[in-house]
């Protein structure tokens, strides 16, 4: 069952991003937030299907938000975690760390679990 996270920055950016997959597609679908470095937006892409390109501008310059270079630290608490070691060689994890905001380019974006579940 999938969930969602809220991304919020002090600059005013607020996004809700789906995470994971549903009961019927979990083997082929795991949505996760990505940063598009070309158009400076946050998009949800399927970690299990590539190539990854931004749906807004078509650029392949997208980076999953679990990339170490997009956060200041590893954070203390896990916001969401998907076990994908068998599929992509790593777990997909978001923590309560500060992340790079696509709008203001500061390390002030934070994720939190919305509590919403979907299938």
Give pLDDT, residue 118: 52
Domain that holds residue 40: 2-118
Cα–Cα distance between 20 and 45 in angstroms, integer? 10
- Residue 53 backbone dihedrals phi, psi, to 5 degrees: -135, 150
Q: Are the CB atoms for 31 and 45 separated by under 8 Å?
A: yes
- Cβ within 8 Å of residue 4, ≥6 positions away: 16, 17, 18, 19, 114, 116, 118
Terminus-to-terminus CA distance in the chain, angstroms? 5
Q: Are the CB atoms for 44 and 18 separated by under 8 Å?
A: yes
Give pLDDT, residue 62: 98
The per-residue pLDDT string of the chain (119 residues; one tens digit each, 9 = 90 and over) reads 778 999 999 999 999 999 988 778 878 899 999 999 999 999 999 999 989 999 999 999 999 999 999 999 889 999 999 889 889 999 999 999 999 999 999 999 999 998 766 56
**106 C-beta neighbours (distance < 10 Å), count:** 13
Cα–Cα distance between 81 and 105 in angstroms, integer? 25
Give pLDDT, residue 16: 95
* Total domains, the chain: 1
């Amino acid at each position: 069952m999938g969930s969602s996270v809220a991304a919020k920055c002090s600059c005013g950016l607020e996004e809700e991003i789906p995470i994971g997959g549903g009961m019927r597609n979990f083997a082929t679908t795991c949505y996760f937030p990505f940063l598009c470095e070309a158009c400076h937006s946050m998009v949800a892409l399927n970690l299990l299907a590539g190539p990854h390109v931004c749906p807004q501008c078509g650029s392949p310059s997208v980076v999953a938000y679990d990339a170490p270079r997009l956060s200041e630290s590893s954070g203390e608490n896990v916001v969401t975690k998907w076990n994908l070691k068998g599929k992509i060689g790593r777990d997909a994890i978001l923590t309560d760390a500060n992340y790079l905001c696509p709008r203001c380019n500061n390390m002030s974006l934070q994720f939190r679990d919305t509590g919403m579940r979907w299938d």
